[in-house]
A and B are shown apart, each in its own frame.
Chain A
Amino acid sequence: MHLIYPAVLAVLLFSIGLYGVLARRNAILVLMSVELMLNAVNINLVAFDRWLGDGLHTGQALTLFTITIAAAEIGLGLAIVLLVYRNRGSSDVDRLTDLADPGRPLPEQRAPGGTAAGDEKAEATA
Chain B
Amino acid sequence: MIVVERVSKYYGARRAVADLSFEIREGECVGFLGLNGAGKSTTLRLLSCLLLPTSGSIRVRGLDVVSSPHEIRKLIGYLPDTPPLYPEMTVSEYLEFAGRLRGLSGADLDKRRARVSGLCSLDAVARSPISQLSHGYRQRVGIAQAIIHGPSLLILDEPIQGLDPVQIVEMRNMIGELRGEHTILLSTHILTEIEATCDRILVMHEGRIAAQGTEEELSAKLRADRALVLEVRGSAEALRGALAGLPELRELRIDAQGPEIVRASLRVDDALRERVSSSVVNAGLGLLSMHTESSGLEAVFLELSRHAGSASSSTPDAAPEPANQVAP
Q: Are A and B interaction partners?
A: no
Binding site for A on B (CB under 8 A): none
